[in-house]
Amino acid sequence: MGKVAIIGVGQSAFVRSYPGSVRELAFEGFKEAMQDGGIKASDIDASVICSAPEYDKQRSPAGVLAEYLGLNPQPTFYVESLCSSSSMGLRTAYALVASGLHDVVAVVGFQKMSEISSAESQERMGRGADIQWESPFGTMMPAYYAMHAQAHMARYGTTSEDLALIRVKSGTYGQGNEKAVYRKGVTLEMFSQPGTAMSGPIASPLRVGDCCANADGSSCIIVASEEKARAFSKKPVWIMGLGSATAPVNMAGRDSLSGLFVARASAEQAYRMAGVAAKDIDVAEVHDCFTIAEMMAYEDLGFARPGEGRDLIRSKETYKEGSIPVNVDGGLLSKGHPIGATGGSQIRTIVLQLRGEAGGMQVKDPEIGLIHNIGGVGLYGNVTILGR
């Protein structure tokens, strides 16, 4: 199988309420990626469209978006794995290109979550769990991750302040990300003072500040064979390793609540394929839908031993100047989380880092980057390793 590279990346601004259609929203990320890659629609011979269904009224959005983006009559595929849809889309595109079936594939992720109410959105998120044995009893995403936080605290002594420190870091970098929804600094005092925006209870021990926000947005990644990558791009970024796993949908079927099996299994696969270890990663994007999710990612990915993730954030080792910079674009906590577009946004950030084009968020001279993207409550896991 041939080498596969990323030659173009794009992302719309993530916003709370996008005024246009899903077609127009998807075009924003696509247009930026095409310009970044210096290619035309006729250069793309397949597309992979990624989103979580039921947030808009359009069935089979892949065909609709392919038409709007000028990608007919090339084949298009629809990929859905909840919040990790566009990372799974990248995996699909990699397989299509590495096998020789296609040469250049566009991976387009999108979500327009504002088309339904907040209550409807929570109900649909709940359906990402087992609709027979769990979601009918009122479980929602914050409650699930609150269980993870309680388990981590009970097992390792993690504190609410440790989690708040993750949001403080997110706010530090979110201020400089023009694509982010939340562009304000965050302090520990905002968590401790009753009545502030960050301190309101959501699901114990998680507070408002521990949770990411819904958003509308799109992303696009252009994937190419080695021959095409070298022809089109002066700075191709190579896909070194891919890992993917699924877990039992019911929480009762999980081996532990203090970490995510799918993240550990995906990371192991990706490290093995890339021929690297956790210590070799220079910059990472992890799925911080909640502060506890980033804490668990530190440990699941091998950046820290179980129970020692708190030491990384306390010592600021996951800041831009630290030994393992994580989410220096603000992460989901600052950018927002338009489900189908999130993985593509994470990939875009790492590509820009490896090219040295991340502006004020740039880490010093990174060579290897990692993306950790989780779907549902640890139902799907995808880990991607990219190299310069």
> Is residue 311 one of the residues assigned to a domain?
no
* From 152, 287, 337, 372, active-site residue: 337
Can you tell me the distance from the alpha carbon of 330 to that of 149, in angstroms, rounded to the nearest whole number?
21
**CA-angle at 362, arms to 359 and 363, nearest 5°:** 170
> Is residue 185 one of the residues assigned to a domain?
no
Q: Average pLDDT of 72-94?
A: 97
Q: Average pLDDT of 63-83?
A: 97
Instruction: Give the pLDDT of residue 1.
Output: 65
Residue 83 catalytic?
yes
Can you tell me the distance from the alpha carbon of 24 to that of 13, in angstroms, rounded to the nearest whole number?
13
Domain count of the chain?
1
* From 50, 83, 211, 289, active-site residue: 83
Share of the chain above pLDDT 90, in %: 87
Residue 102 catalytic?
no
Burial of 58 (0-12, 13-18, 19+ CB in 10 A): middle
Instruction: Give the pLDDT of residue 115.
Output: 87
pTM comes to 0.97
pLDDT at 49 exceeding the cut of 80: yes
Q: Average pLDDT of 222-241?
A: 97
- Across the chain, the runs of DSSP E, i.e. the strands, are 4-11, 46-50, 76-79, 104-112, 201-203, 206-207, 216-225, 237-246, 283-285, 368-375, 380-387
Q: Is 378 helix (H, G, I), strand (E, B) or coil?
A: coil
> Is residue 245 one of the residues assigned to a domain?
no
> Is residue 77 one of the residues assigned to a domain?
yes
Instruction: Give the pLDDT of residue 167.
Output: 98
> Is residue 222 one of the residues assigned to a domain?
yes
Span 166-191, pLDDT tens digits: 999 999 999 999 999 999 999 999 99
> Is residue 78 one of the residues assigned to a domain?
yes
Q: Which of 231-235, 248-252, 259-263 has the lowest mean pLDDT?
A: 248-252
Range of the domain at 70: 4-117+217-232
**Higher pLDDT residue, 60 or 294?**
294
Any idea what the CATH number is for the domain that residue 73 is in?
3.40.47.10
Burial of 85 (0-12, 13-18, 19+ CB in 10 A): buried
Q: Average pLDDT of 50-65?
A: 89
Q: Average pLDDT of 203-222?
A: 97
Instruction: Give the pLDDT of residue 316.
Output: 98
> Is residue 73 one of the residues assigned to a domain?
yes
Q: How high is the mean pLDDT of the chain? A: 95
93 contacts 343 by C-beta, under 8 angstroms:
no
Q: What share of the chain is helix, strand, coil (3-state, %, to 5)?
A: 40, 20, 40
pLDDT band per the 50, 70, 90 thresholds, residue 302 = very high
Q: How many CB atoms lie within 10 A of CB 232?
A: 18
Of residues 43, 90, 38, the one with CA closest to residue 233: 38
> Is residue 288 one of the residues assigned to a domain?
no
